[in-house]
Amino acid sequence: MTKYIKFGIIAALALLLGSCTEADKFDPNKEVLVMTGTDVSPLLKFTVEETPSTYPVTVSATGKAKEDITVSIKIDSDLVEKYNAENKTSYYAVPEGAVTLEKSQVVIEKGKATSDISLLSVVSADEFVDGRIYIIPVTITDVKGGLEVLESSRTIYLRISRVVYFKSLDMNNTNLYSNFIFEDSQAIELPTYTYEIKCYINAWHKTPEQISRLCSWTAKDESRSMMLRFGENGQDINSLQIVSPGGNLISTTRFSENTWYTLSLAYDGSTLRFYVNGQRDSELGADCSNVFQRFELGMSWESYPSKQYFNGRVAEVRVWDRALSASEIQLGLCGVDPQSEGLRAYWKMNGEGSAEPYIFHDATGNGYDMDWSKTVRDNTGSGALNPFDKSSYVKYIDDDKNRCVN
């Protein structure tokens, strides 16, 4: 075990060469102390499914201790800001009182290479904000016993990976499908943007057409539309067609039933990029600038709801006024902070926030609530938009399938 630790540390130091750091002075034959697990990266995942959840914190030496070594450790939330600045990340420190460390000192006994355990516990997640990713820095503050600390491994950063259970909107009812149009004063010009939605396919719609219309974000008159539908134009039933203002994209991903997907469309002013669960799928170089004033669930035109219905669930619908990066998308797969930069509208589609569950509330507070008792649809094919109260068809699902790990 000692050899593996030493080899890992040497490999990690090799990554630091090229700058004048502790690595330039490091003697590979010299015994040092490290926070266990930091030999490759100081950032480690810590999965929290329920509270309390514990992580065994230990300190290791690169050789067997020649005497007892007492190491003082502590949680230092002030290091989060430093980590973010050095790594261009945007993690958050855990709320006060959410985490405890069992003891502030551990001992590597003579003849051993690893200390006893100090249990770190997440005792409460009540103050955690949805969409925020938290890290817990645990750092070595003092050593009694003669060994130095390897600076690059002085601190371990535990990235909390939470298991999130959520409610979702049931789309398996064609009577639900309709449009909500915002006031003209709420129209958003989008020279750059990101549209996002989470979807879950119960089963593919096969008759009379192998098409499942998911949703669309559009201008008031649908002149510039971003529409998502599965199986259109002779494509595989489990492929997604993206109809954008600059042309169409067909996904390379083939989607599976009984699986949650986060679909993201990011336009930076010249290229539209499509992501599936934060992984780039395809892209289109074209003018895809857009105007958002209208949102459609399913296919609401004329008799098409039953012909192109989407048998599944949706959640986490968002409109941003900037193109998100892949890493930003990946951090938001389970949810985002409603106050995130550039987030213009955010519907969790979970029925929360009101005594009227048929109102899809905008979590940002920007006023883009969608009242499904006040929708419109062209039910005749004439072009006329007629009012429809769809409130009674809004249903939510709360089961173990609605599970996400961030």
The CATH number assigned to the domain holding 135 equals 2.60.40.1740
> Which residue type, as a one-letter code, is found at position 296?
E
What is this structure's pTM? 0.81
- What's the average model confidence in pLDDT over 155-165? 93
Residue 82 phi/psi, 5° resolution?
A: -65, -45
Q: Tokens 């719609």 label which residue?
A: 205
> Are residue 308 and residue 185 in the same domain, yes or no?
yes
At 31-46, the pLDDT tens digits run: 999 999 998 999 999 9
Q: Are 329 and 273 in contact (CB under 8 A)?
A: no
Instruction: Give me 137's structure tokens.
Output: 């820095």
> Are residue 197 and residue 295 in the same domain, yes or no?
yes
Q: 131, 164, 197 — which closes off a domain?
A: 164
> Are residue 259 and residue 328 in the same domain, yes or no?
yes
Give the CA radius of gyration of the chain: 26
Q: 164, 196, 221 — which closes off a domain?
A: 164
Whole-angstrom Cα distance, residue 212 to residue 307?
8
What confidence score (pLDDT) does residue 3 get? 38
At 105-142, the pLDDT tens digits run: 999 999 999 999 999 999 999 999 888 899 999 999 99
> Are residue 151 and residue 278 in the same domain, yes or no?
no
Q: 145, 164, 183 — which closes off a domain?
A: 164
What total number of domains does the chain contain? 2
- Residue 203 CB burial class (10 angstroms; 0-12, 13-18, ≥19): exposed
- Which of 147, 32, 159, 156 is closest to 92 using CA atoms? 159
> Are residue 278 and residue 386 in the same domain, yes or no?
yes
- Which of 93, 53, 167 is closest to 404 using CA atoms? 167
| DSSP of 272-327 | EEEEETTEEEEEEES---EEE-EEEES--STTHHHHS---EEEEEEEEESSPPPHH
Predicted confidence (pLDDT) at residue 277 exceeds the cutoff of 90: yes
- Which of 245, 240, 283, 238 is closest to 263 using CA atoms? 240
> Are residue 155 and residue 260 in the same domain, yes or no?
no
What confidence score (pLDDT) does residue 331 get? 87
> Are residue 172 and residue 215 in the same domain, yes or no?
yes
> Are residue 353 and residue 297 in the same domain, yes or no?
yes
Whole-angstrom Cα distance, residue 61 to residue 74?
18
Is residue 269 classed as helix, strand or coil in its secondary structure?
A: coil
- Parent domain of 43: 2-164
* Cβ neighbour number for residue 232 with a 10 Å cutoff: 21
241-250, 296-305, 312-321, 381-390: range with lowest mean pLDDT = 296-305
> Are residue 137 and residue 190 in the same domain, yes or no?
no
89-98, 201-210, 281-290, 329-338: range with lowest mean pLDDT = 201-210
Q: What is the CATH number of the domain that holds 247?
A: 2.60.120.200
> Are residue 138 and residue 90 in the same domain, yes or no?
yes
